[in-house]
Each structure stands twice: as structure tokens, then as C-alpha cells.
Amino acid sequence: MQGEIWLNLPVRDVARSKEFFEKIGFRHKGDRDTPEMTCFVFGEQNTAVLLFAEARLREFAKSEIADARKGAEILISVGAGSRAEVDETARMVFDAGGTIFAEPAEIDGWMYGFGFQDLDGHRWNLLYMDNDSLKG
């Protein structure tokens, strides 16, 4: 295995979701787009997030698609480089129409983060970890 991680998420409207993820700072990989899928990457590892039309992902997964708006299917946690990045991303998510379910706040004295739902209800968590505070 190469060790790459690709997050394949179902979306109701590929174009609308593409606009949302562009607005919150994910890097679009337009060379991989189809009418039923768009691709973004984030982080130093260029982790891929592929947003599939629900019907297309249903074909790949050989399963019905869960409604993420009704319950937590997964919490995707992403590292942030600073508290300021957490705050700025929270603002961008709000402005882009996402739902903040946990406002930016300190957690356990060494983490700072917030949680949000994208347009299809998938839950994301952005965390800045101050490892120096953890040691103290």
C-alpha cells in the first residue's frame, strides 16, 4: 500500500459542494473533475477529498448512502497550523454556508479547534495542537 488516504464523500449537488470547499480554502484538482465527481486536496500530505454525486458513490460502495444530516457517520479531523487559522477557517465555513456545531474553543488546555458540518452534513473538526503546553 502506498499509504495515501482518499476521502470519498457523497454529495447531493457536486457544483454547490465544489463552490463550498473552494470558499473554505481547499485546493481544487480540476484535472480530475467529471460531471459526477470533483476532487480537492488539503494539508502537507495533499490528502484527497473526492466529492461524488450520491448515485455514483452508491455504485462504487455497493451500499445505500447514509444521511449525514441525521447522525454522525464520521468525524474528519484536520490539523491546523495556528489558532488564527482555526478562527479564520471557522469564519470562512460560516460565510460559505456551513454549519458550526462547535465554536472555536480551547480543549483540554493544549488544543484549540472548532467543528463544522459541510453542506451535506459531513462532520469536520479543525484542531491546532500546542504540544509545548501538553508537556507542561
- 47-88 confidence digits (pLDDT tens): 999 999 999 999 999 999 999 999 888 999 999 999 999 999
CATH number, domain with residue 80: 3.10.180.10
Is 60 in the same domain as 77?
A: no
Position 134 pLDDT exceeds 90: no
Position 136 pLDDT exceeds 70: no
Predicted confidence at residue 11, as pLDDT, reads 98
Classify residue 73 as left (phi > 0), alpha (psi -120 to 50) or beta: alpha
Is 30 in the same domain as 52?
A: yes
Is 27 in the same domain as 58?
A: yes
Secondary structure in 3-state letters for 30-60: HHHCECCEEEEEECCCCEEEEEEEHHHHHHH
Mean residue pLDDT of the chain comes to: 94
Q: Which of 64, 87, 116 is the last residue of a domain?
A: 64
Count of domains in the chain?
2
Predicted confidence at residue 73, as pLDDT, reads 85
Span 39-52, average pLDDT: 94
Residue 135 binned pLDDT confidence (cut-offs 50, 70, 90): low
Q: Which of 18, 36, 64 is the last residue of a domain?
A: 64
Is 97 in the same domain as 128?
A: yes
Which has more confidence, 136 or 74?
A: 74
Neighbouring C-beta atoms of residue 20, cutoff 10 Å: 21
Question: CA 54, CA 97: separation in Å to the nearest integer?
Answer: 20
Q: Which of 64, 98, 116 is the last residue of a domain?
A: 64
Residue range of the domain that includes 26 = 1-64
Q: Helix, strand, or coil here: 124?
A: strand
- What pTM, to 2 d.p., does this model score? 0.90
